[in-house]
Structure 1
Amino acid sequence: MRASQHDLMWRQLLPTVRKHDEPLQVQLCTAFVTAMLEGRLPAGTRLPSSRDLAMLTGVSRNTAVLVYERLVAEGYVDSRPRDGFFVCGAISPTQQAQPWPEPAVQSPDWSTRMHRPQSTVAWADRPPTWREVRYPFIYGQFDPKQFPLTQWRQCSRQALEWKAVDRWWQEGENVGASQLIDQLIRRVLPRRGIAATHDQVLLTLGRQQSFYLLARLFARPGSVVGVEEPGFRDPRNAFAHDGAQMVSLPIDEHGLKISPQLAQCDYLYCTPAYQCPTGVTMSQGRRLALLEHAHLHDQVIFEDDDDPETEYDGRALPALKAIDTAQRVIYLSSLSKLLSPGLGIGYIVAPAPVIEQLRQLQRLMIRQIPGNNQITAALFIQQGHYDRLLQQAREKLQVRAMAMAAGLREALPDAEFAMPSGGATLWLKLAGQHDLLSLYYAGEAKGVLFDPGNAFCSEPNTMTRPGIRLGFGSIAQEMIAPGIRELGRVINAHAKRPVIVRS
């Protein structure tokens, strides 16, 4: 009986190892250390033998031996010859903080102290459980199976060498001359037609920080910022936060229209390569007209190149910044869409005086972009892995786009869409009228996720024709056809329901 209770205690302390998770040795070492630091394994506690540990956790005897060797080497466990393994006496449990008592005096009135946005902030976030959904037709994520892990790990190891580690910290140095900026100037920006110098490029923690920095530098009460409608909500939120007036600008099949509203703007934000969310590529004629309009009305353009270089035939139009001879375009992009959103590496290209002011603003928030990620990404580009990944991404996205189109023609013949020429999204115009919010929840209930079109509108009820955005960058190829069939069933069933008019 005592032995079974002893085994039960250890089974409760130790995890059920998962062979498809972290390495087994790491899982067990982490479990032991956590129990020690939380006080559940006091100093002097005798640990199971390596044989018993293997039996209790289902790992091999060799793995159990390696676990103890590692814990001994790191000072968590004492090995006593012919006696066994014991929790080291030098290990002190982490002191747990006590909950705050009820305040005895009045707390500050936070609502009157905090600066709040001038307009309502709205986000178009997806549910946190999207990974568990069977058919995630969503944008902004990547397929981890396509990530070149071997090559990235190789570059990461090089970034961990002593000489590279010494370059992680750049405070007080010429941060504009970083290795990653050099690779952006040499290898990435030229493919968009952009020539830049080191003092014209700023690294950011992704596009989100780029929006924030640009808004803090340029947006102020009385300034007018135009944004596409429908369009990306995050920059709208950022520019409106400090009191700028937001103007919605219409788009058509050629991109942002030269409309009367456009003349009201001091600044305008647009996505010429693949308009968010419709995927429309701004035509060359419209680009020239937009630059001419900006010159006549003394406007500045924020060009968001969200998903650059993924034109399937490799012949994307040059960026708007590339044909801007008057330096009126501030360009922003990132490495996140091609590599991984989790890396958080973005960049802004602008005239040197603007970059200097942005750098000073950024210094109020962070000292620098993490140096290890910078160097790893620079090596990844420098050694040709980025170019190879880009070509593979184009090929895979084109195949997936063709599968999407074929499935939609069969499942939803009355809906309309334009075949994508690049990127990882497809804009689907639905037949009839739909309450897009209830359609979204109906799809989620059937394991189908998509982005409802009114999530990209400042006034959700103003869409003249309901549309949804389907992303295919993070869904497996073999799941596209059955996913589109399920989407078709959801939409067709929903079309038979009465439309709910929301006030």
Structure 2
Amino acid sequence: MRSIQHDLMWRQLLPKVHTHDEPLQVQLCTAFVTAILEGRLPAGTRLPSSRDLAMLSGVSRNTAMLVYERLVGEGYVDSRPRDGFFVCGAIPPTQQAQPSPAPAAQPPDWSARMHSDKPGVAWADRPPTWRQVRYPFVYGQFDPKQFPLSQWRQCSRQALEWKAVDRWWQEGENVGESQLIDQLIRRVLPRRGIAATHDQVLLTLGRQQSFYLLARLFARPGTVIGVEEPGFRDPRNAFAHDGAEVVSLAIDEQGLMITPALSRCDYLYCTPAYQCPTGVTMTPARRQAVLAHAQRHDQVIFEDDDDPETEYDGHAQPALKAIDPADRVIYLSSLSKLLSPGLGIGYIVAPAPVIEQLRQLQRLMIRQIPGNNQITAALFIQQGHYDRLLQQAREKLQARAQALASALREALPDAEFHMPSGGATLWLKLAGQHDLLSLYYAGVAKGVLFDPGNAFCSEPDTLTRPSLRLGFGSIAQELIAPGIRELGLVINGHAKRPGSVRI
């Protein structure tokens, strides 16, 4: 017969489940398994009946029965007909190793042992609590409400079938012949004007690993690599890590400029489609000039196609690599911006000998890219879900860009910006003088998050006017106008007095 003490004990072991978290069945199974492995439910312990479990945990009786069926199937619980459920005696509790006392010892001098003597690198990271901010004008995050979860789940189930699991590329097999590379070659790269073969494509764990691999292969002391200024910090940090000299390359409204600094470089890193952070698209004439300059000076170009295929009218310019007659462009991109950064699916397109060397370097880090995500993404592209999502993303981004532009014209009429033609960012040049750092924290205090322009600058005088980058891929459209009104109040309330020094 149940008692108050009986109920209290089980309520402590199995707290009420939360409907907004994992599925109820999973939460209860996890609680039981944790209690068993930690020894709080010893072998032979009688468990509550399915009716009692439902009452104690706040779930339906069907859910309670499914929990017990799963625990029995996984060997944690024994089912005894007409007697009930009991903790299985074959599962020993997890034992923590107890180290024996050791005499006091001197720890190693880690600073002397570690190879890198570089000072701390600068990152343009957003605060980890950005999701709690009411108006997150941030870039690089996807909108989970727009993600086609049912289609992705369908492809994921197919990737878990036996035939698909067999293609998860066990160690030692030819990873270059993967199904995802095949879909990139057939369906994704052609839209950027790029023709490639399997031996010219390397899958990576996102663009970040691509930067690191390219840096390890090409950057060394004495090498000069040009990076756009203002520009993305991560490739700059990667190239400088192994001793390469990184020089800043100026940009204007047409993209990367042909300057004397450009002629000094062995390699050029650029973002022609939507320049990071200004969103400028490199013009056709400037693209031809950069390629001709690279040919004259025997340079190699790293083309980072950060946000491909999101030109709102669907007619984006071909990638720089697509119009490169001399094979001087190494192209890198990812599926993360459209799908999710958490998937970590990137790729590099380069001549076959370069890909082979990059693959050997990658092998020093990881033996293979996770095959389950590869197969799921390949099926997602193959079955047309990627194209449909791309079209929906273009429409939504265009609507958000128009809403953002309209709100800015009303709230900040003296600020300047160019209407985006694609992508998910807008570069805003402010009127007057502003301390961007204090402006940033004032915005956060009011629930408005943005990227201050100087976070993308390695040199103090890069910005001729204080500027902000506003991302609109992660914010709901109905929040754009009120968010910009709040931003306008913050900016107008923190303008510096004439004659003060601008940071």
* Same fold at TM > 0.5: yes
| Structure 1 residues without counterparts, runs of 5 or longer | none
* Mapped contact 1:435–1:499 kept (Cα < 8 A): no
Cα deviation for residue 93 of structure 1 reads 1.6
* Mapped contact 1:452–1:469 kept (Cα < 8 A): yes
1:385 and 2:395 are equivalent in the alignment: no
Cα deviation for residue 119 of structure 1 reads 5.4
Tell me: CA distance 1:254–1:102, structure 2 relative to 1, closer, same or farther (3 Å): farther
Q: Which moved more, 1:265-274 or 1:493-502?
A: 493-502
Q: Secondary structure at the match of 1:495?
A: coil
What is the rounded CA distance, in whole Å, between the counterparts of 2:406 and 2:416 in structure 1? 13
Counterpart for residue 163 of structure 1? 163
What is the rounded CA distance, in whole Å, between the counterparts of 1:500 and 1:446 in structure 2? 24
> Mapping of 1:123-272 within 5 angstroms?
123-272=123-272
Tell me: CA distance 1:250–1:103, structure 2 relative to 1, closer, same or farther (3 Å): farther
Tell me: CA distance 1:278–1:91, structure 2 relative to 1, closer, same or farther (3 Å): same
Counterpart for residue 274 of structure 1? 274
* Mapped contact 1:118–1:243 kept (Cα < 8 A): no
Counterpart for residue 33 of structure 1? 33
What is the rounded CA distance, in whole Å, between the counterparts of 1:500 and 1:173 in structure 2? 64
Counterpart for residue 109 of structure 1? 109
* Mapped contact 2:201–2:355 kept (Cα < 8 A): yes
Cα deviation for residue 83 of structure 1 reads 2.9
* Mapped contact 2:434–2:496 kept (Cα < 8 A): no
Tell me: CA distance 1:496–1:464, structure 2 relative to 1, closer, same or farther (3 Å): closer
* Mapped contact 1:167–1:371 kept (Cα < 8 A): yes
Q: Secondary structure at the match of 1:364?
A: helix
Q: Which moved more, 1:385-394 or 1:30-39?
A: 30-39
Counterpart for residue 61 of structure 1? 61
Counterpart for residue 488 of structure 1? 488
Q: Which moved more, 1:41-50 or 1:136-145?
A: 41-50
* Mapped contact 1:266–1:299 kept (Cα < 8 A): yes
> Mapping of 1:465-480 within 5 angstroms?
465-480=465-480
Tell me: CA distance 1:20–1:258, structure 2 relative to 1, closer, same or farther (3 Å): same
* Mapped contact 2:433–2:496 kept (Cα < 8 A): no
Instruction: Kindly provide the amino acid, as one letter, of the partner of residue 3 in structure 1.
Output: S
> Mapping of 1:360-379 within 5 angstroms?
360-379=360-379
Counterpart for residue 309 of structure 2? 309
1:416 and 2:416 are equivalent in the alignment: yes
1:22 and 2:18 are equivalent in the alignment: no
Tell me: CA distance 1:243–1:56, structure 2 relative to 1, closer, same or farther (3 Å): same
Q: Secondary structure at the match of 2:176?
A: helix
Cα deviation for residue 105 of structure 1 reads 2.5
Instruction: Kindly provide the amino acid, as one letter, of the partner of residue 480 in structure 1.
Output: I
What is the rounded CA distance, in whole Å, between the counterparts of 1:442 and 1:3 in structure 2? 56
Cα deviation for residue 172 of structure 1 reads 2.5
Instruction: Kindly provide the amino acid, as one letter, of the partner of residue 429 in structure 2.
Output: K
Cα deviation for residue 5 of structure 1 reads 3.3
Cα deviation for residue 74 of structure 1 reads 1.2
Cα deviations by residue, 1:301-329 (Å, 9 ceiling, x for unpaired): 00000000000000100000000001110
Cα deviation for residue 478 of structure 1 reads 1.5
* Mapped contact 1:118–1:242 kept (Cα < 8 A): no
Cα deviation for residue 253 of structure 1 reads 0.5
Cα deviation for residue 37 of structure 1 reads 1.4
Tell me: CA distance 1:90–1:500, structure 2 relative to 1, closer, same or farther (3 Å): farther
1:446 and 2:446 are equivalent in the alignment: yes
Counterpart for residue 4 of structure 1? 4
Instruction: Kindly provide the amino acid, as one letter, of the partner of residue 61 in structure 2.
Output: R
Counterpart for residue 78 of structure 1? 78
Cα deviation for residue 248 of structure 1 reads 0.6
What is the rounded CA distance, in whole Å, between the counterparts of 1:263 and 1:130 in structure 2? 40
Instruction: Kindly provide the amino acid, as one letter, of the partner of residue 18 in structure 1.
Output: H
What is the rounded CA distance, in whole Å, between the counterparts of 1:493 and 1:122 in structure 2? 29
Cα deviations by residue, 1:384-409 (Å, 9 ceiling, x for unpaired): 11111111110010001111111111
1:327 and 2:358 are equivalent in the alignment: no
* Mapped contact 2:50–2:61 kept (Cα < 8 A): yes
Q: Which moved more, 1:84-93 or 1:178-187?
A: 84-93
Aligned length: 502
Q: Which moved more, 1:53-62 or 1:421-430?
A: 53-62
What is the rounded CA distance, in whole Å, between the counterparts of 1:239 and 1:13 in structure 2? 52
Tell me: CA distance 1:55–1:501, structure 2 relative to 1, closer, same or farther (3 Å): farther
Cα deviation for residue 100 of structure 1 reads 8.7
Instruction: Kindly provide the amino acid, as one letter, of the partner of residue 430 in structure 1.
Output: L
What is the rounded CA distance, in whole Å, between the counterparts of 1:354 and 1:490 in structure 2? 49
Cα deviations by residue, 1:223-261 (Å, 9 ceiling, x for unpaired): 001000110000000000000001011111001111111
What is the rounded CA distance, in whole Å, between the counterparts of 2:387 and 2:36 in structure 1? 47
Q: Secondary structure at the match of 2:3?
A: helix
Tell me: CA distance 1:13–1:410, structure 2 relative to 1, closer, same or farther (3 Å): same
* Mapped contact 1:119–1:240 kept (Cα < 8 A): no
- TM-score, with normalisation over the residues of structure 2? 0.96
* Mapped contact 2:434–2:502 kept (Cα < 8 A): no
What is the rounded CA distance, in whole Å, between the counterparts of 1:409 and 1:100 in structure 2? 69
Cα deviation for residue 345 of structure 1 reads 0.6
Tell me: CA distance 1:473–1:100, structure 2 relative to 1, closer, same or farther (3 Å): farther
Cα deviation for residue 71 of structure 1 reads 1.0
| Structure 2 residues without counterparts, runs of 5 or longer | none
Cα deviations by residue, 1:242-293 (Å, 9 ceiling, x for unpaired): 0000101111100111111111111110000000000000000100000011
* Mapped contact 2:255–2:282 kept (Cα < 8 A): yes
Cα deviation for residue 480 of structure 1 reads 1.3
Counterpart for residue 318 of structure 1? 318
* Mapped contact 2:433–2:497 kept (Cα < 8 A): no
- TM-score, with normalisation over the residues of structure 1? 0.96
Q: Which moved more, 1:37-46 or 1:432-441?
A: 37-46
Tell me: CA distance 1:352–1:447, structure 2 relative to 1, closer, same or farther (3 Å): same
Q: Secondary structure at the match of 2:327?
A: coil
Cα deviation for residue 87 of structure 1 reads 1.5
What is the rounded CA distance, in whole Å, between the counterparts of 2:72 and 2:487 in structure 1? 55
Instruction: Kindly provide the amino acid, as one letter, of the partner of residue 144 in structure 2.
Output: P
Q: Secondary structure at the match of 2:67?
A: helix
What is the rounded CA distance, in whole Å, between the counterparts of 2:315 and 2:476 in structure 1? 26
Tell me: CA distance 1:427–1:103, structure 2 relative to 1, closer, same or farther (3 Å): farther
Tell me: CA distance 1:258–1:370, structure 2 relative to 1, closer, same or farther (3 Å): same
Q: Secondary structure at the match of 2:315?
A: coil
Cα deviation for residue 11 of structure 1 reads 2.0
Cα deviation for residue 99 of structure 1 reads 7.0
Q: Secondary structure at the match of 1:333?
A: strand
Instruction: Kindly provide the amino acid, as one letter, of the partner of residue 384 in structure 1.
Output: G
What is the rounded CA distance, in whole Å, between the counterparts of 1:183 and 1:150 in structure 2? 21
Instruction: Kindly provide the amino acid, as one letter, of the partner of residue 11 in structure 2.
Output: R
What is the rounded CA distance, in whole Å, between the counterparts of 1:38 and 1:487 in structure 2? 51
